[in-house]
């Protein structure tokens, strides 16, 4: 008679059962060993525009012309909208007249015909008008501050735009590159560095991997979540990705020497997520051992706890095994 141990529903609790017959179960085994395992860690994030802005004139004026529409690509400096130029033209004319008057006053001043105070006042007036005209020019000819895409339009030609309206005429986003803010667990702070490569995947393109890199690291840890914020910049020259997409980012945190076994050695306890292996003991019996698993490495699985390097685990024949059962190792199977 052979005394064997079977799992019950409660983790770590066993009961002894008796089986008939002395015939040992034939099994194959391998010896667990350590190997370098890449520590890839996944975090979720939302993609955002690298830059975004509202095209907002700081004056109240009528919109004369809208040159682009939603979805149009725009270049830095491109004229997007033109406002009524009445106010600008008035001030430009005043500036031209002031400069002409100053040119006439200068020789009179040099001959002592007018005072220095008068010539200084004329020069100050010119400088004020130049600043006013320059500001009006920026606000009647509205340009894109960077290369991007028009993502919203809020007005029509002929509308009277007020700077107090709370919205702009357009919204423009820079979509190449994009960025994502990732909240990384505190334990990985030493491994993350500026320029670190990051793989990015999105659900709408499940078979594509996009390249990103760490562009900024928050200098402090959030004491509530025990995470720190990392900005990842993602190249998007084809504009395949869009702001607002849900993304999964993968950070390679280096390699660690950990115990691994063939994945066929890992068994799952019925009705639970608990995993175990059968370990061959010196007396020729097997012991069921709960293990904590990590990453899959090809056909092997990383074992984080429950198994030491060099222990012999069953890789074939485990279906007929119970805890404490006598086994026969098939010749040539032991590694």
Delimit the CATH 2.40.30.170 region(s) of the chain. 41-50+174-255
Confidence at residue 99, expressed as pLDDT on a 0 to 100 scale: 93
Give 22's pLDDT tier (boundaries 50, 70, 90).
Answer: low
Q: What would the mean pLDDT of 228-254 be, rounded to a whole number?
A: 95
Report yes or no: 251 and 41 within 8 Å, Cβ to Cβ: yes
Smallest CA-to-CA distance from 142 within 172, 164, 166 is with 172
Residue range 107-128, pLDDT digits in tens:
888 888 888 999 899 999 999 9
Residue range 252-272, pLDDT digits in tens:
988 888 899 999 999 998 888
* 69 HSE (CA, 13 A, CB side): 2
Delimit the CATH 2.40.420.20 region(s) of the chain. 2-37+257-329
Report yes or no: 311 and 31 within 8 Å, Cβ to Cβ: yes
Residue 230 reports pLDDT greater than 90: yes
- CATH number at 41-50+174-255: 2.40.30.170
- CATH number at 2-37+257-329: 2.40.420.20
The model carries a pTM of 0.65
Q: What would the mean pLDDT of 211-225 be, rounded to a whole number?
A: 96
Q: What would the mean pLDDT of 34-56 be, rounded to a whole number?
A: 92
Report yes or no: 295 and 37 within 8 Å, Cβ to Cβ: yes
Strand partners, 277: 289
Confidence at residue 11, expressed as pLDDT on a 0 to 100 scale: 40
Report yes or no: 66 and 81 within 8 Å, Cβ to Cβ: yes
Give the span between the Cα atoms of 143 and 44, in whole angstroms: 35
Q: What's the distance, CA 171 to chain centroid?
A: 23
Residue 335 reports pLDDT greater than 70: no
Give the span between the Cα atoms of 125 and 130, in whole angstroms: 9
* pLDDT: which is higher, 288 or 332: 288
């Amino acid at each position: 008679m052979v005394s064997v141990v079977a799992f019950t529903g409660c983790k770590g609790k066993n009961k002894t059962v008796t089986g008939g017959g002395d015939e040992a179960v034939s099994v194959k085994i391998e010896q667990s060993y350590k190997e370098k395992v890449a520590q890839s860690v996944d975090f979720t994030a939302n993609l955002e525009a690298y830059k975004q802005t509202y095209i907002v004139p700081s004056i109240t004026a009528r919109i004369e012309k809208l040159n682009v529409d939603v979805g149009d690509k725009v270049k830095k400096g491109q004229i997007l909208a033109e406002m009524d130029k009445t106010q600008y033209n008035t001030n430009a004319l005043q500036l031209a007249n002031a400069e002409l008057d100053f040119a006439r006053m200068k020789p009179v001043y040099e001959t002592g015909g007018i005072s220095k105070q008068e010539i200084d006042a004329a020069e100050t007036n010119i400088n004020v008008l130049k600043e006013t005209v320059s500001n009006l020019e920026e606000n009647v000819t509205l340009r894109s501050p960077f290369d991007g895409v028009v993502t919203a339009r809020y007005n029509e030609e002929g509308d009277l735009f007020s700077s107090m309206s709370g919205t702009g005429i357009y919204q423009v986003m820079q979509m190449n590159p994009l960025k994502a803010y990732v909240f990384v667990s505190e334990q990985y702070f030493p491994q993350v560095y500026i320029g670190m490569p990051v793989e990015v995947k999105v659900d709408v393109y499940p078979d594509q991997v996009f390249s990103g890199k760490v562009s900024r690291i928050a200098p402090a840890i959030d004491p509530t979540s025990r995470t720190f914020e990392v900005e990842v910049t993602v190249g998007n020259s084809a504009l395949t990705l869009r702001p607002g997409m849900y993304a999964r980012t993968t950070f390679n945190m280096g390699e660690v020497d950990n115990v691994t076994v063939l994945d066929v050695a890992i068994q799952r306890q019925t009705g639970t997520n608990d995993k175990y292996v059968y370990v061959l003991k010196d007396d020729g019996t097997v012991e069921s051992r709960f293990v904590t698993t990590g990453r899959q490495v090809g056909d092997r699985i990383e074992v984080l706890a429950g198994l030491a390097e060099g222990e012999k685990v069953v890789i074939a024949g485990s279906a007929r095994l119970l805890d404490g059962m006598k086994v026969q190792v098939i010749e040539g199977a032991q590694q």
